[in-house]
Copies of this chain bind each other. A is one copy, B any other.
Amino acid sequence: MKKSFLLVSAWAVWSVTAFAWSFEPLPDVPPIPADNPMSAAKVALGQQLYFDKRLSVDGTISCNSCHTVMGSGTDNRPVSVGVGGKKGGRNAPTVWNSAFLSVQFWDGRAATLEDQAKGPIVNPVEMGMPSPAEAEARIRAIPGYVSQFEAVFGTQDPVTYENIAKAIAAYERTLLTPHSPFDRYLKGDKTALSEQALRGMKTVEKIGCTACHTGPDFAGPPMPMGQGFFQKFPIFVDHNPYVAKYRLMEDDGRFNVTHEASDKHLWRVQTWRNVALTAPYFHTGSVPTLDEAVRVMARSQLGKTLTESEVQDIVAFLNSLTGEFPVQSMPRLPQTPNRTLTEK
């Protein structure tokens, strides 16, 4: 009873805060699940796995192939290219700051980064491994991995699909881009945003974008991990030329997960962080530029046709959400042993 009272109070406080101050800087640390604490060794292991193409059936695709950490955290393609040149069904979302999202994938079918990491490895059009067991066997055959799993997880037979996913998720929780001009502005540097970006910032509030694109990652209000913030897209479909032009309704979205009619065309609200780097846009990847994405959203979600200067102001604001990408070391991937080698 007491607990639920506290939760209600916290909600009320949050609501008031949210109305008082729509904009929040990116926190320094993301939520960390209790069952997957961070450690430097785990992050280092996860980084190796993230870049390791041996987790794909034919050794050509790693997590990084589609979620490129040297760049935008996406592959900047409409849809990704998986094993054997196969095309994915939806645009690859960015891995940068994905640790702040309360659900993963466009349709929210994974509650955590751990669950997300288990998907592409065995997806036939992505990394194409026939089963989790075969992915484990690949990694278990590499002594340089086994010793790390033992050190990190400390259990008997630690090379499990669960632990592969945990290590990858731990690495992904380090992929944060703080100190964007927007964050610096919020923290007191009033010169960090141009006049145009400031106009854009006011416009997105005024016209209603921030009703959904709120919170520190602009992907919705804070939610318990695993409980996503979904919205219908597109809402305004009548006489909306973008629906056909960009194939916005060919995919049923969250309905494919829940099979509930009310979830048709519902999608996780996307982050605005680094959105200027992640073209092309939407689940279709069919919209090539950010200004066009702004026009499509205003028309489809708010029923508004923006002036060209409003579009450019918003684009300037969205550009101010490009953060600082941390310097990382390049991993060394442990060697697949030549089984006849007897020496290190």
Residues of A whose CB lies within 8 Å of any CB of B are 51, 58-60, 68-72, 75-77, 81, 84-85, 194, 196-197, 276-277, 279, 288-292, 312, 315-316, 319-320, 322, 325, 327-333, 335-336, 338-344
Cβ-closest 4 pairs across A and B: A291-B340, A319-B343, A328-B330, A316-B343
The residue on B at minimum CB distance from A84 is B85
Closest B residue to A344 by CB, please name it.
B319
In the complex the two chains form, is B276's CB within 8 Å of A338's CB?
A: yes
* Chain B residue at minimum C-beta to C-beta distance from A52: B70
List, in ascending order, chain B residues with CB within 8 A of A85's CB: 84-85
Given contacts A84-B85, A85-B84, A330-B329, whether A312 and B70 have CB atoms under 8 Å apart is no
Instruction: Please determine whether B338 and A290 come into contact, CB atoms closer than 8 angstroms.
Output: yes
Q: How many copies does the complex hold?
A: 2
Nearest-neighbour CB distance to chain B for A179, whole angstroms, equals 14
By a CB distance below 8 angstroms, the chain B residues around A332 are 70-71, 325
19 contacts between A and B (CB under 8 A): A51-B70, A59-B75, A68-B333, A70-B331, A70-B332, A70-B333, A71-B335, A194-B343, A288-B338, A290-B338, A290-B340, A291-B338, A292-B340, A312-B342, A315-B341, A316-B343, A319-B343, A328-B330, A329-B330
Chain A interface, >50% SS class: loop
CA distance A335 to B325 in the complex (A): 13
> How distant is A24 from chain B, measured CB to nearest CB, in Å?
21
Q: Which residues of B contact A328 (CB under 8 A)?
A: 329-330
CB-CB < 8 A to A336: which residues of B?
Answer: 76
Q: Which residues of B contact A276 (CB under 8 A)?
A: 338, 341
CB A4 to nearest CB in B, in angstroms, measures 46
Q: How far is the CB of A263 from chain B (nearest CB, A)?
A: 31
Bound Cα distance from A332 to B332, whole angstroms: 18
What CA separation (Å) do A190 and B51 show in the bound complex? 37
Provide the residues of chain B in CB contact with A338, threshold 8 Å: 276, 279, 288-291
A60, A196, A316, A330 interface centre (most CB from chain B within 10 Å)? A330
Beta-carbon contact of A277 and B335 below 8 Å: yes
Contact pick for A60, options B72, B81, B327, B329, CB 8 Å:
B81
Please give, as numbers and ranges, the residues of chain B lying within 8 Å of A77 by CB-CB distance. Answer: 59
The docked-state distance in angstroms from the alpha carbon of A59 to that of B75 is: 9
> Closest approach, in angstroms, between the C-beta of A53 and any C-beta of chain B?
8
Interface centre among A71, A77, A292, A315 (most CB of B within 10 A): A71
Q: Which residue of B lies closest to A71 (CB)?
A: B333
Are B341 and A319 in contact, CB atoms less than 8 angstroms apart?
yes
Who on chain B is nearest to A80 by CB? B60
Across-interface contacts of A344 in B (CB, < 8 A): 319, 322
In the complex, the answer to whether A69 meets B330 with C-beta atoms within 8 Å is yes
Q: Are B290 and A315 in contact (CB under 8 A)?
A: no
Measured between beta carbons, the chain B residues less than 8 angstroms from A288 are 338
